[in-house]
Amino acid sequence: MSKQEQMQATLDALTRAIPGMKGSFLCTFDGMPVCQSITDPGVDSARVAAMAATALGVGRRITETLSTGTLRGIKLVAAEGRIFIYMVGSKACLALVAPSDTNVGLIELEVADVITQLTAIL
């Protein structure tokens, strides 16, 4: 399997594992989309990629300035959904768009595995 296929399979499995997930997205630190697994066709992957990079970029400056160690991720809590953005190694961002009643514990467990898998692939 090519790297692309491996990443696709990993993201597809993640999107399937979490009920109601709208999509999972892998992108570069400068906001370019790499791979995505989407159940909601209304979500614009290119937009998500750019915004995830911006959010993590700002997050990293905040954690550096406040000396809280290396940033691992960001959570956006909104009225109609939750968005989780994680660092994957030192090159990529993983963004998840989930419903607001999503099982956060399950997401944390699944994402930990996914980050390990994606880091090995990249």
Partner 1 sequence: MTPLKIVISGPVGAGKTTFIRSVSQTEVVSTEEVSTERIGKTHTTVALDFGQIALGDYVLHLFGTPGQSRFDYMWDVLSEGALGLIVLVPCDAPNEFPQARRILEFVISRQPVEFIIGLTRTDLAADGWTAAEVAAYFGVPEQQVLALNPRDAAHARHAIHQLLQRV
Contacts of 48 (CB under 8 A, 6+ apart): 23, 25, 27, 33, 36, 95, 97
**Per CB under 8 A, 61 contacts partner 1:** yes
Pick the binder of partner 1 from 11, 31, 86, 118 (CB under 8 A). Answer: 31
**Per CB under 8 A, 77 contacts partner 1:** no
Comparing CB distances to partner 1, the nearer of 38 and 53 is 53
Q: Where is 19: in which H helix or E strand?
A: none
Q: Give me the least distance between CB of 106 and partner 1, in Å please.
A: 30
Please choose, from the candidates 98, 53, 48, 55, the residue with its C-alpha nearest in 3D space to the C-alpha of residue 77: 98
Site residues (vs partner 1, CB under 8 A) = 28-32, 46-47, 49-51, 53-54, 57-58, 60-61, 65, 91
